């Protein structure tokens, strides 16, 4: 039944007349069974509002489009803006595009009614703003709003058409290097290409789960909960990349925070030198690079594949300055690792040029089949090649899926809007500079690990 929903590129809710205005709902989706089940629920809720909508707005045709359907033929499809041209071509009468996540819930009648009250050039949603310059926003000093997709983003066709036209004229998008925070980068691009800044209507576009009476959208996000899974902590192996000079400075903090949760789970510290102060240190080679770490990471991948017990099916690779919620990580893995025969990588997705990659600092999660293929088919160009970026190239060449996990974070808490963080339960943060590490862990990540099955390896 679910598969039949996704064989279609979109689902239309329309009147019987031939004259209509297209109102497009674009779900930011990914090709994974767990997420597709959520997409099915969201689509069904939109479809259930067909009758009242057609009674009030008989000339409005609502079509649902899933972003992952364009993954094979639109470069950087996940960054949203590359889909604009295709959508304008596909829907000749497009008036508004509503972009949202699979957890977003919508009062469709109120949303269409609101769109009728707007001017021709519209870019509106729940506005987020930076409290300070952020590394994930390239230290931009811009203080404009950018949207929270969980509350939905409404853009008029005039803005979309002007964006596409000026992008063609200037080749703006071709000059983009890194793709980091797609919601911020979307607002920045729209502003620079069309001179239309985002309007904050957080009174209507709501990102909380319990909406106020004024909300026309809200966020129905829930925590990962797949308790029927047989995966437990003993099946996960953690490889932590470190360096002798950081053992006391960083590893000691890991021992006082999340490593204390791993009493029954194997982990190793992959370093360049033994240290009697710490157990579980492995020295696979004594080289150390200031940047890149490709050789170290591939040594870790090989060690997992060749040495670690096969019952430990999943590899988590992190840095020695990565904080992790082990409980939430386990819950997430239980929902996504559904078929061990199919290679899969989970991570926070960044992009460079035409390929996505999992950010190493936030944590990269592999099943065994993915590790096996990577080490068989790929090898580091240089010792200091950026490991995560090269893994991204390798995944693309091998067509191994990379699923974006938004609860993994490459930066510190201060790099993100607090309004955005409040509607998620983070799984990781990265970097220890100028913060109280133990406080950040206790405040944002600490959670009792629920792992009732006690089988040992």
Q: Let me know if residue 226 belongs to a domain.
A: no
DSSP-derived pairing of the beta strands 345-347 and 364-367 = antiparallel
Q: Are residues 214 and 239 in the same domain?
A: no
CATH number at residue 104: 3.90.550
CB 355 within 8 A of CB 262: no
Indicate the helix (H) or strand (E) that contains 297: helix 294-306
The per-residue pLDDT string of the chain (457 residues; one tens digit each, 9 = 90 and over) reads: 444 444 444 444 444 445 789 999 999 999 999 999 999 999 999 999 999 999 999 999 999 999 999 999 999 999 999 999 999 999 999 999 999 999 999 999 999 999 999 988 999 999 999 878 888 998 887 789 999 999 999 999 999 999 999 999 999 999 999 999 999 999 999 999 999 999 999 999 999 988 899 999 999 988 999 978 999 999 999 999 999 999 999 999 999 999 998 875 789 999 999 999 998 999 987 677 777 789 999 999 999 999 999 999 999 999 999 999 999 999 999 999 999 999 999 999 999 999 999 999 999 999 999 999 999 999 999 999 999 999 999 999 999 999 999 999 999 999 999 999 999 999 999 999 999 999 999 999 999 988 755 544 4
Buried b (16+ CB within 10 A) or exposed e, 371-398: bebbbeebebeeebbbbbbbbbbbbeee
Question: Which residues is 105 bridged to in the sheet?
Answer: 218
Structural domain total, the chain: 2
Q: Are residues 237 and 183 in the same domain?
A: no
Q: Let me know if residue 359 belongs to a domain.
A: yes
- CA distances from residue 209 to 75, 114, 212, 218 in whole angstroms, order as listed: 33, 21, 10, 6
pLDDT score at 18: 52
Q: Could you give the percent of the chain with pLDDT greater than 70?
A: 94
- Strand 94-101: give its sheet, edge to edge: 10-13, 60-66, 21-28, 94-101, 153-156, 123-125, 199-200
Q: Are residues 80 and 22 in the same domain?
A: yes
pLDDT score at 360: 98
Q: Are residues 148 and 297 in the same domain?
A: no
Q: Are residues 25 and 162 in the same domain?
A: yes
Nearest to 293 by CA among 218, 356, 335, 243: 243
Q: Are residues 170 and 305 in the same domain?
A: no
Q: Are residues 147 and 295 in the same domain?
A: no
Q: Are residues 213 and 238 in the same domain?
A: no
Q: Give the length of the chain.
A: 457
CB-based contacts of 57, cutoff 8 Å, min separation 6? 109, 112, 113
Q: Are residues 58 and 118 in the same domain?
A: yes
Q: In which domain, by residue range, is 212 found?
A: 2-219
- CA distances from residue 121 to 158, 190, 227 in whole angstroms, order as listed: 6, 11, 46
Q: Are residues 203 and 278 in the same domain?
A: no
d(CA 211, CA 382): 52
d(CA 305, CA 247): 25
Domain boundary among 166, 193, 219: 219
Q: Let me know if residue 25 belongs to a domain.
A: yes
Q: Are residues 157 and 288 in the same domain?
A: no
Q: Are residues 173 and 296 in the same domain?
A: no
Q: Let me know if residue 167 belongs to a domain.
A: yes
CATH number at residue 320: 3.90.550.50
Average pLDDT over the chain reads: 93
């Amino acid at each position: 039944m679910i598969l039949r929903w996704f064989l279609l590129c979109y689902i239309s809710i329309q009147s019987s007349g031939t004259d209509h205005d297209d109102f497009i709902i674009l779900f930011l989706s990914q090709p994974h069974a767990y997420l597709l089940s959520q997409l099915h629920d969201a689509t069904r809720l939109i479809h259930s509002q067909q009758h009242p909508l057609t009674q009030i707005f008989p000339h409005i045709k609502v079509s649902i489009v899933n972003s992952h359907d364009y993954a094979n033929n639109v470069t950087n499809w996940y960054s949203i803006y590359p889909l604009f041209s295709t959508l304008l071509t596909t829907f000749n009468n497009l008036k508004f595009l509503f972009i949202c996540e699979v957890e977003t819930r919508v009062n469709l009648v109120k949303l269409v009614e609101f769109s009728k009250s707007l001017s021709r050039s519209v870019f509106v949603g729940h506005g987020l703003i930076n409290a300070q310059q952020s590394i994930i926003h390239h230290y931009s000093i811009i203080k404009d709003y950018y949207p929270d997709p969980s509350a939905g983003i409404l853009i008029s066709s005039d803005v979309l058409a002007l964006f596409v036209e000026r992008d063609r004229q200037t080749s703006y998008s071709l000059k983009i290097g890194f793709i980091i925070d797609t919601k911020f980068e979307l607002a920045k691009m729209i502003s620079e290409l069309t001179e239309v800044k985002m309007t904050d209507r957080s009174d209507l576009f709501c990102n909380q789960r319990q909406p106020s009476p004024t909300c026309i959208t809200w966020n129905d996000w829930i925590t990962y909960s797949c308790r029927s899974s047989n995966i437990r902590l003993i099946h996960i192996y953690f490889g932590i990349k470190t360096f002798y000079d950081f053992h006391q400075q960083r590893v000691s903090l890991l021992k006082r925070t999340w490593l204390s949760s791993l009493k029954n789970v194997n982990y190793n510290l992959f370093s360049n030198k033994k240290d009697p102060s710490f157990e579980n240190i492995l020295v696979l080679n004594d080289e150390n690079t200031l940047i890149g770490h490709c050789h170290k990471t591939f040594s870790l991948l090989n060690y997992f594949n060749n040495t670690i017990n096969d019952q430990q099916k999943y590899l988590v690779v992190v840095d020695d300055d990565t904080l992790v919620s082990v409980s939430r990580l386990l819950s997430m893995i239980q929902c996504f690792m559904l078929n061990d025969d199919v290679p899969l990588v989970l991570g926070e997705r960044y992009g460079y040029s035409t390929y996505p990659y999992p950010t190493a600092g936030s944590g990269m999660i592999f099943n065994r089949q993915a590790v096996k293929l990577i080490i068989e088919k790929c090898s580091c160009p240089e010792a200091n090649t950026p490991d995560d970026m090269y893994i991204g190239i390798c995944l693309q060449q091998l067509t191994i899926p990379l699923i974006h996990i938004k609860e993994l974070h490459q930066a510190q808490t201060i790099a993100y809007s607090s309004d955005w963080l409040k509607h998620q339960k983070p799984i990781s943060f990265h970097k220890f500079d100028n913060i109280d590490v133990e406080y950040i862990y206790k405040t944002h990540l600490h959670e009792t690990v629920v792992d009732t099955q006690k089988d040992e390896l």
